[in-house]
Structure 1
Amino acid sequence: MDTNTVLLLVLALLLTLLAIRMPVALALALSGAVGLLLLQSGDYATNMLASVPFSESHAFSLTIIPMFILMGVFAVKARIAEQVYTAASHLFRRVPGGLGVATVMACAGFAAVSGSSIGTAATMSRLSITQMRKAGYPQSMAGAIVAIAGTLGVLIPPSVFLVLYAIMTGESVAAMLAAGIVPGVLSALAYATFILIRAPRVVATPAPVATATDLDAALAAASGGTGGTAPTPEGTDAAPEGTETAPPDGAPPTRLRDLEWRGVVRVGILFLIVLGGIYTGFFTPTESAAMGALVAAVMLVLEYRREGAATLYGQFTAALKETAGTTSMVFAIVVGSAVLSTFFVTARLPQTVTAWVSSFEVSPHLTMAILLLMLLPLGMALESISILVISVPLLYPVAMSLGFDGVWLGILIVKLIEIGMVTPPVGINCFVVSGTSGVKAERIFRGVAPFVCIELIVVILLFAFPEIVLWLPSLIG
């Protein structure tokens, strides 16, 4: 059987396995194993299956992944998201559409410590959608804001996606993490600008002050299993925009100086440890991740120190179990992708793609743009991490042969994966928001369409002006 036929069979098998919802790691490994068996021999395939998983998973650089995951889980348990959202909603309370902007800013801040898009979307949907619905935001817009802002978790460091890309390609982890900052901030500002323009036209009532009491009630409802969002009953008087409502006796104060600023401070501390430590050379990327996890654990202790040892122990064990589960999933995907990449190398697929692309009589930029645009339909059908591990071994060698920068390429790939996380039929962030808020997924998909257009504009800017991506990494270099 010739190489081209084997490649087509393996790709068809992979897409079929992913379509029937086989776990990503198994689909990648099984497809690669079948390809090696058809292309070489049984002995060669078994030798590769015995050596590749160990050689790919024992690398010291991979220890950064569980440390970043642990730091993010500790940050979630330490209630940082609630505190950041309370402060942001108070700061933007006088701005038309301010509650939506506050949600974007809170998502960006929380993404800077969690590194998880799904975690950011799930956490912030419990906090913010009820408040936006009470303020008169349509369900589609409220859900879309959380879904699109949640995608910042795969771009703003510490992002597991950026770390995986760096490990797969050999690029600097520090450079990749630094490269995500400016595009992440630019994306957040683009979302906020659209909300400020759009919200005054569609929001039914003036935005009330999001008090700490309201947020506590939303958290209690979410944790109590009631879920969903309750629209403001007809006839209920909304507080005029900018009105300082006095909290009832015993309720947390909502004055600016009395807000729980410790969440914002903690985000800054963790961000400073991770990026500041790497930037100054005081920590290696792996050491910065470990220090971030340690400091996040201290923050968890400080948050629950008055609630008893049993509560603190429960939070710690839950965090460790969640980290173990997520880490196992990520490492299984790393092993599966390594088997599939071994097949690609054996079949000389990267060289074939490079030669095919080089035969086009068009500019390198147009060639690269066409290849990157192919990720969009993949994002509509495949899970995001699958796109990363499938596309990087193919696109990276081509980009290098055409003279492009690997860090710039990684940011563009992650940005396009962001779009895939909110586009149907997969659109995992939209389904996460739907499941945690009660808003129908089709309404969220409808509301997120304008934000997808904004994302494409940001991608075009990053593609046309690589300096936006490479400025901060050049300082670290």
Structure 2
Amino acid sequence: MERELVGVLGVAAMIVLMFLRIPVAVALLAVGWIGVAVLRSDRAADAVLKSDPFSMVLNFDLTTIPSFMLMGYITYAAGFTRELYDTARIWFARTAGGLAAASTLGCAAFAAVSGSSLATAAAMGKIAVPEMLRRGYDKGLATGVVAASGTLGSLIPPSVLMILYAVFTEQSIAVLFIAGIVPGVLSAGIYIAMVLTRARLDPSLAPGMAEPTSWGEKLSSLKGTWAILILFVLVMGGIMAGFFTAMEAGAIGAAGAFLIALLAGRLTLERLRSAFLDTLRQTASIFAIIFGALVFTRFMALSGLGQYLAELAASVSDHATPVILALSVIYIILGTFMGPIEIMLITLPIITPVMDGYGVSLVWFGIIMIKYLEIGLITPPLGFNVFVISSVVGREVPITTIFRGVLWFLAMDVLTLGLLIAFPAITLFLPDAYVAWTSYLRTEDIGALEAVGRWLSGG
């Protein structure tokens, strides 16, 4: 049997196991081990199982995952998320659709300290959806805007998906983070523009508040944004200025969130315990999937399926654009029945050689892939974020209504994705500037060291 065929059968087996609801980590591990055993031997499969997961644990880049997640959970436990939403609500209150716009802004800001789409949707869903329903908002819009805006947790840095992508494709986490800033802001801006336009055309969808808000109230509300703003500037500003690495930024961000919450008198032992437990649960789940993905990745490498597909794609088209458009359809379909981490770790060993073959920037494609995964989070019938919001609102809003509400946001996601594919500079101009800046800093540091060396040697 040709090794590429064994790879295809392995991918098919993975899809079948997903439909049978086998835990993803177990499915990845089982298919990967059997695949290596078929292509090599049982002893080789055992060797991969013993060595690869443990060698990955020694990759310190992965420490950024629990660090950034802890930062987000502490921020939420301390109540800073609620204050952030309240600030946005006060500023947009009298505008038709203002609460929905405030919800998007709140999700975007919380995404800047959480790193998780599901956590963002869950946190903002508990705060924003009841407020919009109480104000007479259309139920589909009230739930759909938070379900869709929650996906910004994957695109706006820091992002768990970006960390995993960077580790598995050997890219810089810092560069991926910086590449996500403009696409994340663009996505949020397009959501807000669509919501405000719809509300202006049909005020019954999203009525504005009748009571006026003074400039004094608006300015006073800004004090509720200081904690999130400090953390974002500390983490992303420190990375972009070259003061510390992304790995160090995770630790600094978590420590910063702890100190800010402590000094603000917001951190009780119970809240801290809750933040740590939530971080441990999420981290354990992610690392279990990573272990299985490593064995599956080794199987894919041995099968040569990725290289075969790269050669096949090159024979079909000299340009990457048709392949990327085809991948758009494939990823959106996968998103209807699989979670984003699972999709990424299963497909990366297959897709990365194809992108390499076309000379596509893996930083740019990483942002495109995350946008694909965002769309999958709100695409029926699975739509993880939709089910998160459904669990928050209970029977008050049928899940069919929530899916109806996200359709407009899906259309906006397709628009954003088209812009990012058509104009790669939207994604790449900031990371390119960052790389140039850090190269300049290294040159200056080397020059200073050489000058010190000459002085010490009497030259």
Please, what TM-score do these two structures have when normalized by structure 1? 0.87
* 8 Å Cα contact 2:145/2:406 also seen in 1: yes
CA distance in 1, matches of 2:322, 2:198: 34
Counterpart residue number, 1:440: 398
* 8 Å Cα contact 2:141/2:205 also seen in 1: no
Counterpart residue number, 2:448: none
**Residue 206 and residue 419 in structure 1: after superposition, are their counterparts in 2 closer, same or farther (change >3 A)?**
closer
Alignment of 1:258-269 (within 5 A): 258-259=220-221, 261-269=222-230
Counterpart residue number, 2:326: 370
CA distance in 1, matches of 2:365, 2:329: 13
* 8 Å Cα contact 1:78/1:299 also seen in 2: no
CA distance in 1, matches of 2:198, 2:240: 38
Q: Tell me if 1:408 matches 2:369.
A: no
Shift of 1:199: 1.8
* 8 Å Cα contact 1:108/1:153 also seen in 2: yes
Counterpart residue number, 1:286: 247
Secondary structure of 2:360's aligned partner: coil
Output the amino acid matched with 1:378.
Answer: L
What do residues 132-185 of structure 1 show as CA deviations (whole Å, max 9, x unaligned)?
Answer: 112221111111000000000000001000111001101111110001100000
**Residue 254 and residue 392 in structure 1: after superposition, are their counterparts in 2 closer, same or farther (change >3 A)?**
farther
CA distance in 2, matches of 1:205, 1:356: 49
**Residue 361 and residue 399 in structure 1: after superposition, are their counterparts in 2 closer, same or farther (change >3 A)?**
closer
Counterpart residue number, 2:262: 301
Counterpart residue number, 1:142: 142
Q: Tell me if 1:384 matches 2:384.
A: no
CA distance in 2, matches of 1:49, 1:176: 29
Secondary structure of 2:316's aligned partner: coil
CA distance in 2, matches of 1:361, 1:335: 35
Identify the match of residue 243 of structure 1 among 202, 207, 212.
212
Please, what TM-score do these two structures have when normalized by structure 2? 0.91
Q: Between Structure 1 and Structure 2, which shows a larger proportion of helix residues?
A: 2
Alignment of 1:34-433 (within 5 A): 34-204=34-204, 207=207, 209=209, 240=210, 242-244=211-213, 255-259=217-221, 261-304=222-265, 312-433=268-389
Output the amino acid matched with 1:20.
Answer: L
Runs of 5+ unmatched residues, structure 2: 436-459
Segments of 4+ moved more than 6 angstroms: none
Q: Tell me if 1:454 matches 2:437.
A: no
Output the amino acid matched with 1:392.
Answer: L
Shift of 1:202: 4.3
Counterpart residue number, 1:234: none
Shift of 1:203: 4.4
Secondary structure of 1:399's aligned partner: helix
Aligned length: 433
* 8 Å Cα contact 2:137/2:206 also seen in 1: no
Shift of 1:404: 1.0
**Residue 312 and residue 361 in structure 1: after superposition, are their counterparts in 2 closer, same or farther (change >3 A)?**
closer
* 8 Å Cα contact 1:408/1:470 also seen in 2: yes
Compare 339-348 and 5-14 and name the one that shifted more: 5-14
Shift of 1:288: 1.0
**Residue 20 and residue 202 in structure 1: after superposition, are their counterparts in 2 closer, same or farther (change >3 A)?**
farther
What do residues 254-281 of structure 1 show as CA deviations (whole Å, max 9, x unaligned)?
Answer: 922443x343111111111111111111
* 8 Å Cα contact 2:364/2:424 also seen in 1: yes
* 8 Å Cα contact 2:117/2:153 also seen in 1: yes
CA distance in 1, matches of 2:216, 2:105: 19
* 8 Å Cα contact 2:96/2:208 also seen in 1: no
Runs of 5+ unmatched residues, structure 1: 210-239, 246-252, 306-310
Output the amino acid matched with 2:415.
Answer: I
Output the amino acid matched with 1:448.
Answer: V
CA distance in 2, matches of 1:377, 1:371: 10
Q: What is the percent sequence identity of the aligned residues?
A: 38
